[in-house]
Amino acid sequence: MLDPKLKDILSLKKTVVLNQWFDAVLDTFPEATAELLRKKRNPLNDPVAAEIFGGLTNVLNGFLEGPDFNADSLVLDDIMRVRAVQDFTPSRAVSFIFLLKKVVRKELAKDISSHKLERAMLKFESQIDDTVSICFDIYVKCREKIFEIKANEMKNWTYRLLQDANKVKKSAGK
């Protein structure tokens, strides 16, 4: 659970934090992809950018709303699905969550110091760290599903190829 004062300050600066976090996350993509995604957050124009922004919004709201956030992997599901289909290593796929710490520290630096919230910030950063394992679990499940789909497609393709070869063989024998 976030310290009430830290929660108030973070809530007031939520839009700025969210936009900076979104930009930092986009920087984890290849440059051309990042530029394309940066231009569009409208789901009609670019559903991937909208999904990323929506996922980040859900994660930040989850941290702000309550102590059971880490238990609710549904909040992380949307963004992890996007990250899982990209060409990221597992560590890079989940690294987006650490970027929140940097953004919050940068944006709230003066407030943390003036309100003596260093201890509360460390606790919040610990919550962020704990979230990484949930992200990793979701990432692995998504990747397993992708490989399962690919394997089934290969089996189906092979089966169809063998069926076609068998038809050619039968027609040649007539």
- Per-domain boundaries in the chain: 4-145
Q: Read off the tokens for 82.
A: 């996007």
Q: What angle do CA 65, 98, 90 make, to 5 degrees?
A: 115
Q: Read off the tokens for 73.
A: 């992997």
What are the Cα distances from residue 38, in Å, to 26, 59, 155? Answer: 7, 19, 39
Q: Could you give the CA distance from residue 139 to residue 142 in angstroms, rounded to a whole number? A: 5
pLDDT value at residue 74 = 77
What are the Cα distances from residue 87, in Å, to 4, 30, 55, 83, 143? Answer: 39, 10, 19, 8, 11
pLDDT value at residue 57 = 93
The answer, yes or no, to whether residue 71 has pLDDT greater than 60, is: no
Question: What 8-state DSSP symbol labels residue 1?
Answer: -
Dump pLDDT digits (tens) for 102-126.
Answer: 999 999 999 999 999 999 999 999 9
78 neighbors 66 (Cβ within 8 angstroms): no
Q: What are phi and psi of 3, to 5 degrees?
A: -55, 135
pLDDT value at residue 87 = 84
Rounded to the nearest integer, the mean pLDDT of the chain is 88
Show Cβ contacts of residue 82 under 8 Å, excluding neighbours closer than 6 positions. Answer: 48, 51, 52, 55
Q: Could you give the CA distance from residue 124 to residue 100 in angstroms, rounded to a whole number? A: 10
Q: Could you give the CA distance from residue 100 to residue 54 in angstroms, rounded to a whole number? A: 15
Burial of 6 (0-12, 13-18, 19+ CB in 10 A): buried
